[in-house]
Amino acid sequence: MATYPNVNAANQYARDVVSGKILACQLARQACQRHLDDLERAKDPGWPYRFDKNKAERFLRFSQKMPHTSGEWARRKLRITFEPWQKFSLGVPFGWVRKDSGLRRFTEIYIEVPRKNGKSAIAAAVGNYMFCADGEHGAEVYCGATTEKQAWKVFSPALQMVKKLPEMRRAFSIKPWAKKMTRPDGSVFAPVIGDPGDGDSPSCAIIDEYHEHPTDALYTTMTTGMGAREQPMTLIITTAGYDIASPCYEKRAQVVEILERIREGGENEAIFGIIFTLDDDDDWTKPEALIKANPNYGVSLKEGFLRAKQLLAISTPSQTNKILTKHFNKWVSAKAAYYNLQKWIAAADKTLKLSDFVDDECYLGIDLASKLDLNAVIPVFCREINGLKHFYCVSPFFWVPEDTVYSTDPALKRTAERYQTFVNQGVLIPTDGAEVDYRLIFETILALRAGVKIASCPIDPYGAVSISHMLMDEGLEPITITQNFTNMSDPMREIEAALAAGRFHHDGNPILTWCIANVVGRHPPGSDDIVRPVKEGNENKIDGAVGLMMGVGRAMLNEPKDFLSNLDPDEDLLIL
């Protein structure tokens, strides 16, 4: 009679997480609940998938024959032993198959987990299985990364595992070379830096630390090259990162919507995802937060190490976001980000539209940062609810010159690729030539006025003279707002307070979200109560956030009269 100790442990883990016996975040619970629900759905003859315990058990048994390759466990010549969370995260996707063909249901596995939770070792085990034990003739397995060092973090332990197992080499006729492994049927396992060759046909792509990839070029090339494979597998295993405009964060957003049952059917049924992090209302300073975010707590991660990192984050503000990202798996964008990204995301309401505010006054924040780069017009509305001001940002507009979007300048490569993504999403307007024509922005504002009541137009002084005159001629109250501590501190802090209190609402525009995530707070010497926005590096634009702050600043005053611009400006301006 067949036994399934590993599969049973995986299923028990799912039940223990859902019941609360094992401490886990909401996203991990949703991943476990999805599996348990699917086991029930599989009883329906019309549902196309079933769980094959034999296939899941086979993968888990093979993987746990792999030896450790570093540290104390390697010195003691121990083999890998998957923890229950690892048996679930990998065994489950290898066990689900299509009823009609018996081929794997899942073609993609996304695992997001903090550092030092054993990612590289389990990824190496997956690679070896797909290389020689999955039954794929002429298998091609690639460890894809942006640098050679990163690519070898997975391939090196996989190679060392094979070198330590002569019986495995004989059984599968494996030849371990210096930079790849091969088999007589043409199978190959190798690291890849950048894109694989045009002639390659990956059966398995392992993308480690996807958050470090500036674009989705490698992921796209790998997955589109799998078309000839019957049951390919892409394994993405990563920690959180800082760049929410990255392809990793976009993939994460897709996985979250799958776990929340927002996305169902189609390609979503072929993606398995699990995310280990903290919930938004968790207190990360508590010891139990370490256990919740780190499933390998007490195994590969020692309590003392994690607690020391936590105490460092508490005592040293400059280290806080870095530690939250790497050891609590929280996406916090800029390393010293001012705004709580999770609260910003929670404030999104994609049902909001301009027609909801035809009877409200609109405060139009206009940031004309540069004719050569991003320009923003941000509509802000304010409503009083139960004596409290609620702010709404709906349908922001962004422009950038077409020459910048499609620039071939190596220095602008990452910025150009990001802008191309926004253009493809329909949220960024590319204008002809090398400069933004401010007349286009003016025409957009006039068209906007036909639908909402524009009370005032706070505008950045840089390059604003010509458009200010045009706005004034139309009676649109242009108000010059210098980007200094005096003018920016109150609205910047009010947005923070409104987000915390649930008084801020926006429509989820991805460029505005990116700008907000890039905001870093600068304080004058000796004061923590006064702040103005700055950014880290030229790639991290904040123009939309600055426009929002100007709009909120005017909405706070609820007074069209200009007196802010008469105050003494700081010498150190934000936008140059």
Model confidence at 463: pLDDT above 80: no
Give me the pLDDT at residue 566, please.
37
The string of pLDDT tens digits covering residues 112-126 is 999 988 888 889 999
How far apart are alpha carbons 397 and 378 in whole angstroms?
6
Give me the pLDDT at residue 334, please.
59
Beta-sheet strand order (sheet of 233-238): 175-176, 181-182, 188-193, 140-145, 204-208, 233-238, 108-112, 271-275
Bigger pLDDT: 83 vs 198: 83
Q: CA-CA distances (angstroms) from residue 29 to 186, 274, 439?
A: 41, 9, 52
Least confident of 19-33, 293-307, 489-503, 517-531: 517-531
Q: CA-CA distances (angstroms) from residue 557 to 196, 292, 359, 384, 533?
A: 57, 43, 19, 13, 20
pTM over 0.95: no
Pairing of strands 49-51, 96-98: antiparallel
- N- to C-terminal Cα separation, the chain: 74
Model confidence at 44: pLDDT above 90: yes
Identify each DSSP E strand in 90-152 by its residue range: 96-98, 108-112, 140-145
Give me the pLDDT at residue 562, please.
40
Least confident of 175-179, 397-401, 526-530: 526-530
Torsion of CA 438, 440, 444, 449, to 10 degrees: 60
Residues 6+ apart with CB under 8 A from 295: 24, 28, 83, 85, 86, 113, 117, 276
Bigger pLDDT: 462 vs 242: 242
- φ and ψ of 516, to 5 deg: -60, -40
> CATH for 344-566?
3.30.420.240
Of 232, 97, 250, 80, residue with least CA distance to 161: 80
Model confidence at 127: pLDDT above 90: yes
Measured at the CA of 226, the angle between CA 224 and CA 231, to 5 degrees, comes to 135
Place of tokens 């086991």: 39
Least confident of 376-385, 439-448, 491-500, 520-529: 520-529
Of 395, 333, 402, 396, residue with least CA distance to 373: 402
Give me the pLDDT at residue 289, please.
96
- What's the rounded mean pLDDT across residues 312-323? 85
Question: What confidence tier does 145 reach under pLDDT thresholds 50, 70, 90?
Answer: confident
Give me the pLDDT at residue 452, please.
95
> CATH for 5-275?
3.40.50.300
Burial class (CB in 10 A: 0-12, 13-18, 19+), 385: exposed
Indicate the SS3 state at residue 487. helix
Question: What confidence tier does 246 reach under pLDDT thresholds 50, 70, 90?
Answer: confident
Bigger pLDDT: 43 vs 333: 43
Give me the pLDDT at residue 198, please.
57
Buried b (16+ CB within 10 A) or exposed e, 356-374: ebeebbbbbbbbbbbbebb
Place of tokens 């923890």: 83
Place of tokens 């695992």: 111
User: What residue spans define the domains of the chain?
Assistant: 5-275, 287-332, 344-566
Q: Which residues are 235's β-sheet partners?
A: 109, 206
